[in-house]
Amino acid sequence: MSLEEKVAQLKIAEGVQVPAGAVFVNEVTGQDTEGYGSQEKPFQTPAYAVFKAGTEEIFVLKDGQYEKISASALKKAKKGADGLVKKAEKAIKAAEQLAQREAEEAKRLEAAKQIVITEDKSLPEAQKIKILKGAEFREKRVVTQGWIHRLRVQKGLVFIVLRDGTGYLQCVLSGDLANAHQTSTLTRETTVALYGTLKEVPEGKSAPGGHELVVDYYEIIGLAPHGDDAFSNKIAEDTDPSILLDQRHLALRGESLSAVMKVRAAFLKAIRQCYEEEGILEATPPCMVQTQVEGGSTLFSFDYYGEEAYLTQSSQLYLETLVPALGDVYCVQESFRAEKSHTRRHLSEYTHIEAELGFVTFDDLLAHLERLLCNTVDKILADPVAGPLVKQLNPNFKVPARPFKRMQYIEALEWLNEHGIPNEEGEKFKFGDDIAEAAERKMVDTIGVPILLTRFPLEIKSFYMKKCHDDPRVTESVDVLMPNVGEITGGSMRIDDHDELLEGFKRENIDPAPYYWFSDQRKYGTFPHGGYGLGTERILAWLCDRYTVRDCSLYPRFTGRCKP
Ligand code: 4AD
């Protein structure tokens, strides 16, 4: 039976008089806002019936028949109706207020649209500055261009933190500048030119550089999107790391990533200065090569006009050939490794700093490495831009004390076995085992200071490493280990005897023919020499306390990622 049919069957209780204007309530099927109070379309609650119809003649459905409401139920209904009246009054008031606000907003918008931002030509001409140089221009009228890094509107004032790559500047817009419609369209990452006077911030308030720009005029150079495409929707704190990598071009604008990249620039500058002080010359070996250095399994090969060629794994062999021509040399060059595993410290492309030093002993090489690393770090910390950034990224960073702790491979095995750290097979370490990443990091993290780990066995190192005089099972090799990262540098003395080098090729199953230019060094005036390679991203991960080397590379390349 339909609802209508059921309603039609409802009867008025016998003997009950229904006066004109009476209303009906069905607490089961009635509806308050939709109902009319008629028998066919009754209200649902007595309270609503009183509220809506204003009558006490209310008939309520009980046991299939309408009966007049009882005195007690009517009393309750009246109370309920009072509540409904108050609620309705409140709703009306809220609607009125909303309408008023909308009207005011429309008026404000209209007024805002009338405001034309113009430059007061009677003001002194603004000098164009970079934010970093701000302190030199206090109390002067300047113009600075950059990106809106942060934006906040508060009581008729607009606060902008401007970023220009050299720093951050707090800027304040007030009066017409704050109220203008143009200002309400500003978004994060919009580019602007802000004109105004640089004022020292009052005591107790802080701002980057200790001053703020009191803006008197500004221009929009490029408006960044609103809505779904807005910068804050593309890059948020909790964005998935792989999405952040897709949006790397935007993520690099963030404070931490850009700080690491600035420290990176300072690192490269500092290490070049250190090489200059040591009298070591910069060289630029090729990236496209036909020889391997660190094992065939990590070579990236490509078709070079029909011949097989590789992206360089290391410039070491080329640097070795340069020593007789140019003296001690170094290079800052991309190296490429087809590393299949995803780890915190492996990239497919990294910036490799390598050096070759002639007529040195193994001890000279170790002392040089210590000096180079400490002097480079000292210079970075003394740099006015990078020094504070390192402190900000890694507040607990301390310059390592010299001399670094020295440990032989064999002593490391004892240490690992004593501390219950197993080898890759889950067993105790034995001579000849590789110390894999996890064990190495556990050791250096526990010891807590940089370690020069030396004298690795022949079989686990590369073909070119020189054997120790006192123990031909091991090589004059060194890995520099840093807490939190592990190996940041690998180096060794090089075999300088021609026949011994050929043995090395044989041991590693490498055809010596393509290496004639390298082997020739041992024929045409051989000399004792050694060198090393430093992983830029690994040093930065240590210095800036980053979890992974990916955070230390502009556009990191690793398995599965070669974009953007
Ligand atoms: O220990 P490696 O493989 O040594 C060489 O390539 C030598 N030929 C260098 C030389 O003596 N001239 O690499 C040297 C350093 C490592 O200590 C590490 O810091 C870094 O290069 N490195 C990597 N960094 C990031 N991703 C990778 N896949 C890396 N492989 C090595």
**What pLDDT is recorded for position 11?**
63
Q: Please tell me the distance from the alpha carbon of residue 338 to that of residue 344, in angstroms, as a whole number.
A: 15
Q: Is the CB of 542 under 6 A from ligand 1?
A: no
**Per-residue H/E/C for 156-191:** CEEEEEEECCCCEEEEEECHHHHHCHHHHCCCCCCE
pLDDT digits (tens, 9 = 90+) for 359-395: 999 999 999 999 999 999 999 999 999 999 999 999 9
Sign of CA pseudo-dihedral 16, 20, 26, 29? positive
Q: Which of 369, 362, 352 is closest to 314 using CA atoms? A: 352
H or E element: which one contains 480?
A: strand 477-482
Residue located nearest, by CA, to atom 16 of ligand 1? 489
Q: Which of 458, 461, 528 is closest to 494 using CA atoms? A: 528
Q: Please tell me the distance from the alpha carbon of residue 298 to that of residue 295, in angstroms, as a whole number.
A: 6
CA 351 to ligand 1 centroid distance, Å: 9
Predicted TM-score of the model (pTM): 0.83
Q: Is the CB of 535 under 6 A from ligand 1?
A: yes
Pocket probe for ligand 1: among 314, 329, 343, the residue whose CB has the most ligand atoms within 8 Å is 314
Reduced DSSP (H G I as helix, E B as strand, rest coil) percent helix, strand, coil of the chain, to 5: 40, 25, 35
pLDDT digits (tens, 9 = 90+) for 31-84: 988 778 888 889 999 999 888 888 889 999 988 888 889 899 999 999 999 998
SS3 507: helix
pLDDT digits (tens, 9 = 90+) for 253-282: 999 999 999 999 999 999 999 999 999 999
Q: Which of 331, 158, 151 is closest to 224 using CA atoms? A: 151
Q: Please tell me the distance from the alpha carbon of residue 351 to that of residue 268, in angstroms, as a whole number.
A: 10
For the CA of 491, the closest atom of ligand 1 is: 11
**What pLDDT is recorded for position 53?**
85
471 backbone dihedrals φ, ψ, rounded to 5°: -160, 95
Q: Is the CB of 494 under 6 A from ligand 1?
A: no
State the angle between helix axes of 362-382 and 536-543 in degrees (0 to 180), rounded to the nearest 10. Answer: 50
Q: What angle do CA 68, 73, 77 make, to 5 degrees?
A: 105
Q: Is the pLDDT of residue 304 over 70?
A: yes
Q: Please tell me the distance from the alpha carbon of residue 162 to that of residue 154, in angstroms, as a whole number.
A: 17
What lies within 8 Å, CB to CB, of 174 at 6+ separation is 156, 157, 158
Q: Please tell me the distance from the alpha carbon of residue 289 to that of residue 124, in angstroms, as a whole number.
A: 60
What lies within 8 Å, CB to CB, of 340 at 6+ separation is 559
Alpha carbons within 13 A on the beta-carbon side of 62: 11
SS3 481: strand
Burial of 214 per CB tally in 10 Å (0-12, 13-18, 19+): middle
- Written as six digits, the tokens of 99 are 């309408």
pLDDT digits (tens, 9 = 90+) for 139-185: 999 999 999 999 999 888 999 999 999 999 999 999 999 999 999 99
